[in-house]
Structure 1
Amino acid sequence: MKQKLNIGKFFLVLLIIMAISGCSTNDNAGTTGNEKGDKVNNGGTLVIVRLSDAENLDHHFMNTINAASITHGKVYEGLVGRDKDSQIQPLLAKSWKQVDDKTWEFKLRDDVKFHDGTLFNASAVKMNFDRLLDPNVNAPRAGVFKMVSEVKVIDEFTVQFILDESFAPLLSILASHEGGIISPNAIEKFGKNIINEPNGTGPFSFESWKPGQEIVLAKNEQYFGDKAKVDKVIFKIVPEETTRTSMIETGEAHIAEPLSVTMMDTVDASSAMEVYRSEGFGTEYIGFNTEKKPFNDIRVRKAIAHAIEMDSIIKGVFNNVGKKANSLLGSQVFGYHESLKAYEFNVNEAKRLLAEAGYPNGLKTILSTNDVKERISLAEVVQSQLKGIGVDVEIQVFEAGTFIEKRNRGESQMFINSWRNATGDADYNQFNLFHSSSKGPAGNVFFYSNERVDQLVNAGRIESDPEKRIQIYAEAQELEMQDAVYVPVRVIENVAAVSKNVDGFRISAAGYLELNDVSIK
């Protein structure tokens, strides 16, 4: 009897072990490995701490990559997108073709729904572009699609873009945040007002927004593509950089951005986080309001350009993060003019030009910037350098939103700014920043007007030959430099502090935060 009882106990223990083993296997069903061999658990809440809030959550009204990073590719998606190498790929459209120079046809996916359950189809695409281009809506991003005369529904899942004229970079703009498709229900609800409850087709759905505090997105379990690996993303607004990085140290956050160059060594020395770096499409620059005295005089602008010694700025202010720029096009952007010459450092020439312009004893001006550490440092160095030609510079630092508003309204004289170029094509830079029709919120905050530049920008849009487009943009960049509209500073590097518990995070060359592949170890 004792022997039978012991055998029974043995089988009972064996069954318990098997049961426990089976449960353990199920618990780890969501665990994968990354390239380093670390175990990664899908799920959880990703916390991103950021310098500033979005100005709005409506792609038709967004003027900054900072805002678009929250929704582009997460809540909203376009007909096409970009892969990790920045190449155009199908997204909501499964294929496309040019019927003729002025007609593009897109075949749409038939298995996509918006977050509110509405079916994505050709009518939804048409409604989006009708709203964007409606003059009564007055959307600031309408200008980038001004060549579109009609979006035509061919059948439920086929749509055509009818253009007024040939437009070579159409796909590049459709892949940027302006091309994001909004739910028809949201458009009907908000009409010409800014949409504050974004509703799209992406891997994350909008949950809540407390302006100035946080924006929360939740995983879209019904997403048609590869589902996000985290359950939720919280974008917290934390203006103080040391607080942002400390939150990663304490485990309160996973990603802090942007990261200033002055904090990079601190992050590198941490056992909890590391520095993420990647070259972007965009550039940083010092701009002039060409309609506002004294910078309505080209000689004054040239004098300032000659008086700034950029090599020491790149090294001293930016610690060689981001290479010195010679244009407002980044070196990875199609149409970049590699041999363009910026103004050489020449104090005597700067003084001569100022005297010729009627300022032999110098002048006073205001240099404005937003509250980013490197930009404040840059402003201080520029202030010091310009003293050498008798220019007395007052620095004004504003919170990001206030800075953008003042700049867009033309209230700035001289300002530090950046343009991240969401498409990787010269047109996005040239049309938005330099075309006379784009003055103000659309991007031309120089309030610059040059008839020949307008002609070139227009020509670059309709030219289908890539080599001819490169030549067109080269001439445009040369004219803009001759007119001293800006002083190029550096090609932007995307820099962030990232917890060592995070895998799969990246920032696209356009500057969008890419979160779909992010997981937490």
Structure 2
Amino acid sequence: MHRAATPLVRTLVASALVASVGLAACGDDEDDSAASDTTAAPDATEATAATSEPGGTGTDVAISSGPADGTATTPGDTSPGGEGDAEASVVVGAVLSPTSLDILHQPGAALDAVLLDNIYETLLTVEDDGTISPGLAALPEVSDDATVYTFTLEDGVTFHNGDGLTADDVVFSLDELRSETGTFAEDFATIDTVTAIDDLTVEVTLTQPDSELQFNLTRRGGAVVQADATELENSAVGTGPFSFVEWDVGASITIARNDAYWGDPAGVSEVTFQYFTDPNAAVNAFTTGDVDILTGVNSDLVGPLQDNSDYIVNQGTTNGEFTLGFNNERAPLDNRDVRQAIRQAIDKEGLLELYNGFGTIIGGPVPPADPWYEDLTDSAPYDTEAAEELLDGAGVTDGTALTLVYPNIYPTNAAEYIASQLAEVGIEVEIETVEFSVWLEQVFTNADYDMTVVLHVEPHDIDNYANPDYYWRYDSADVQQLIGDARTSTSPEESVELLKQAAAQIAADSPVDWLLLYADLTVSRPEVTGYPTNDTASRFDASGITVATG
């Protein structure tokens, strides 16, 4: 059913809950437009005519999605297989649609999923194992004191309008991203200056060593926009394997293969990202033949897809830690033993059954994708007797009431499960369901709560535990010192070791309970391959997709 160069032939749908809450731990993501105004690609010279005006503010939460190497729950392989139809068109779907295309100033994982890797490329890239690799630039030369990074750009790279990539473009992009209104202002706080040494050489000088700099340059922080680009809100001119075609605001974004691309060409001629808000409608679109790949499938809906031998279901990884947060300043949760008791009173295996077995129990603040991950599930094993002893020792009596502020973007079965588990050890949980906008104000901003849940999807987010003003109000001088020392260490090995120590201390302190790590479920037909299966709601590189001929 694939028709060459024809849109709406096949649909890839990202209907994940992960996508809908990708902002949850960082602030309000406004990438949820429902409008349908159409914006076509401007003339190339028009898109780069003047200095761009700073747009919105916020924090980027996207991370790299790995290649199609997730665990197959039914037999199959998503890696490219055989010769593909280079003229095929596909449609990629997602839940959250951008309200702006400004990659420098507009936050939101929805924007990254469409533009990063496809339209815009980053200075560096990251492999599945966390190894930093070249991107638009070679790996940098680093001074002995780790405060000066010198980047050499690839020669012969051009933007979609035909202009060559130069160091001035990198300087412009980094300066905008680290500006007061840039999406990487906080992450790039250690950058002092960015200087173009010559056309292909950029020097970045830091105020102090920063072990996260290179990783941040594999994310949106490394995206390169043409110097003095304008109309960033409704257009995108990058160096990637696809060029921008059209934006139907709130409905879809269409990109086409860049035949002048400096690297390997994209496997299909055109991709349309189409936005869905109903996961049932997305599954229906797949089963009726209008969709080839469905990403972020709801675990409640995946069963019939697994049972069909015509489909390939894969379980990929995410960075999504589904977290039960405690207000560490509010009694009785200001007592470590009480927090530990609550963790030990909740059977994570039982919770995993609610998600039909999809997910990972991690027991600590670090997902397996991070280099400083260690299995910390033994830090608070399920043990109701131990939980009751801890509560008794802390003076918490049967019938003690705690309120669980629960964002309405999550199914209520998890809240009910938590309440039933804690009732077994004498804690009465009142579930207070709120709109997510209310959650942002009440919980995230004002810390007015006892317990809450939210999905944290930020990469390398262990820094949150070093911020005593974060909504958990967790204040550990030891953890702050360990994380601070790791950030300024000039030794990668030392940095990893320090962060492992920090993670172990955090798990011991139990400032939150890590309920589970979300899974990324994708389903496809066998003829469509080469798609990513990891963190597809945050970053979706469409360049490797192929559609088998015949």
> Which residue among 382, 385, 390 is the counterpart of 1:345?
382
Structure 2 counterpart of 1:227 = 265
Q: How does 1:241-260 map to 2 (within 5 A)?
A: 241-260=279-298
> Which residue among 199, 207, 212 is the counterpart of 1:164?
207
The residue matched to 1:167 in structure 2 has which SS? coil
From the CA coordinates, give the structure whose radius of gyration is larger: 1
Work out whether 1:98 is the aligned partner of 2:142: yes
Work out whether 1:478 is the aligned partner of 2:504: yes
Q: When the two structures are superposed, what TM-score results if normalisation uses the length of structure 1? A: 0.79
Structure 1 counterpart of 2:42 = none
> Which residue among 411, 430, 453 is the counterpart of 1:393?
430
Contact 1:281–1:330 under 8 Å retained in 2: yes
Cα 1:290–1:53, aligned 2, differ >3 Å: closer, same or farther?
farther
Tell me by how many angstroms 1:159 deviates: 0.4
Output the amino acid matched with 1:202: G
Work out whether 1:238 is the aligned partner of 2:276: yes
Kindly tell me the number of residue pairs found equivalent between the two proteins.
466
Q: How does 1:301-340 map to 2 (within 5 A)?
A: 301-314=339-352, 316-339=353-376
Contact 2:237–2:244 under 8 Å retained in 1: yes
Structure 1 counterpart of 2:531 = 505
Structure 2 counterpart of 1:153 = 196
Unpaired runs of 5+ residues, structure 2, are 1-77
Contact 2:80–2:546 under 8 Å retained in 1: no
1: CA distance between counterparts of 2:535 and 2:366?
12
Structure 1 counterpart of 2:30 = none
Tell me by how many angstroms 1:282 deviates: 4.8
**Larger relative CO (CA 8 A, sep 6+): 1 or 2?**
2
Q: When the two structures are superposed, what TM-score results if normalisation uses the length of structure 2? A: 0.75
Structure 2 counterpart of 1:42 = 86
Structure 1 counterpart of 2:489 = 463
Contact 2:80–2:544 under 8 Å retained in 1: no
Structure 1 counterpart of 2:419 = 383
Work out whether 1:435 is the aligned partner of 2:461: no
Structure 2 counterpart of 1:182 = 225
Tell me by how many angstroms 1:308 deviates: 1.2
- Which string of whole-angstrom CA distances, capped at 9 and with x for unpartnered residues, describes residues 229-280 of structure 1? 2222222222222211221222322222211222222112235532122234
The residue matched to 1:247 in structure 2 has which SS? helix
Cα 1:303–1:338, aligned 2, differ >3 Å: closer, same or farther?
closer
Tell me by how many angstroms 1:84 deviates: 5.6
Tell me by how many angstroms 1:379 deviates: 2.5
- Which string of whole-angstrom CA distances, capped at 9 and with x for unpartnered residues, describes residues 101-121 of structure 1? 211111012322333444321
> Which residue among 199, 206, 219 is the counterpart of 2:244?
206
The residue matched to 2:371 in structure 1 has which SS? coil
> Which residue among 506, 511, 517 is the counterpart of 2:544?
517
The residue matched to 1:319 in structure 2 has which SS? coil
Contact 1:122–1:159 under 8 Å retained in 2: yes
> More deviation in 40-49 or 293-302?
293-302
Structure 1 counterpart of 2:122 = 78
Give the % identical residues.
21
The residue matched to 2:349 in structure 1 has which SS? helix
2: CA distance between counterparts of 1:226 and 1:412?
51
The residue matched to 1:201 in structure 2 has which SS? coil
Output the amino acid matched with 2:340: K
Cα 1:294–1:206, aligned 2, differ >3 Å: closer, same or farther?
farther
Structure 2 counterpart of 1:51 = 95
Structure 2 counterpart of 1:23 = none
Cα 1:385–1:463, aligned 2, differ >3 Å: closer, same or farther?
same
Unpaired runs of 5+ residues, structure 1, are 1-33, 423-427
Tell me by how many angstroms 1:156 deviates: 1.2
1: CA distance between counterparts of 2:80 and 2:203?
46
Structure 1 counterpart of 2:514 = 488
Cα 1:38–1:410, aligned 2, differ >3 Å: closer, same or farther?
farther
The residue matched to 2:202 in structure 1 has which SS? strand
The residue matched to 1:144 in structure 2 has which SS? coil
Cα 1:251–1:102, aligned 2, differ >3 Å: closer, same or farther?
same
Tell me by how many angstroms 1:306 deviates: 2.9
Contact 2:170–2:224 under 8 Å retained in 1: yes
- Which string of whole-angstrom CA distances, capped at 9 and with x for unpartnered residues, describes residues 423-456 of structure 1? xxxxx2222x22328x5xxxx5534333332221
- More helix, by proportion: 1
Tell me by how many angstroms 1:479 deviates: 2.7
The residue matched to 1:470 in structure 2 has which SS? helix
The residue matched to 2:474 in structure 1 has which SS? coil
Contact 1:63–1:141 under 8 Å retained in 2: no
Cα RMSD after superposing both structures:
3.2
Cα 1:350–1:59, aligned 2, differ >3 Å: closer, same or farther?
farther
Tell me by how many angstroms 1:402 deviates: 7.6
Tell me by how many angstroms 1:503 deviates: 1.3
Cα 1:408–1:126, aligned 2, differ >3 Å: closer, same or farther?
farther
Output the amino acid matched with 2:520: N
1: CA distance between counterparts of 2:452 and 2:527?
38
Work out whether 1:173 is the aligned partner of 2:216: yes
Tell me by how many angstroms 1:55 deviates: 6.6
Work out whether 1:143 is the aligned partner of 2:143: no
- Which string of whole-angstrom CA distances, capped at 9 and with x for unpartnered residues, describes residues 452-504 of structure 1? 32221111012233442233112211332233221112334321122333111
